[in-house]
Amino acid sequence: MAAAVLLVAGAYAWEEGLLRPAPPPLRPTPEALALGERILRSRCLHCHSAIPLAPRVAGWSAERAYEALGHLPQLYPAMPPFHGTDDERRALALYLAALGATAPAPR
């Protein structure tokens, strides 16, 4: 019985990502920032040309942007989910953090 409980608990932990290794740190490289900018231009600017992003992400770290991109509809109901690879999500997060670093913080 205990083995079955451990098996179920282990399967649950795996599905929730608790047993996977941590992803590599988010480090801005020229390539990642360029990819992030391309993703923003192709997937986000059709709405965010009228709704500026820089003030919304002012002061955000890349890690905060990465987490937000994974939960967009839950955080902002008008937002669609991010459809892209993990590398694209990481690149966009890095670009958003860089964009937010140049914007004044919201009041």
pLDDT tens across 64-86, in order? 999 999 999 999 898 999 999 99
The residue-averaged pLDDT of 10-39 equals 81
For residue 43, give both structure tokens: 């997937």
Q: Any idea which residue has 């900018």 for tokens?
A: 37
13 pLDDT tier (thresholds 50, 70, 90): low
Q: For the chain, give the mean pLDDT.
A: 86
CA distance 58 to 65: 10
In three-state secondary structure terms, 81 is coil
Alpha helices in 1-107 (DSSP H): 2-15, 30-43, 45-48, 62-69, 72-75, 86-101
CA distance 85 to 83: 7
Q: Is the pLDDT of residue 107 over 60?
A: no
CA distance 100 to 8: 42
The answer to whether the beta carbons of residues 80 and 40 sit under 8 Å apart is no
Fold of 28-101: Cytochrome Bc1 Complex; Chain D, domain 2 (1.10.760)
Q: Is the pLDDT of residue 100 over 60?
A: yes
Q: Is the pLDDT of residue 20 over 90?
A: no
Residue 90's pLDDT is what?
A: 96
Q: Is the pLDDT of residue 2 over 90?
A: no
CA distance 91 to 82: 13
Residue 102's pLDDT is what?
A: 83
Domain ranges of the chain: 28-101
Q: Is the pLDDT of residue 3 over 70?
A: yes
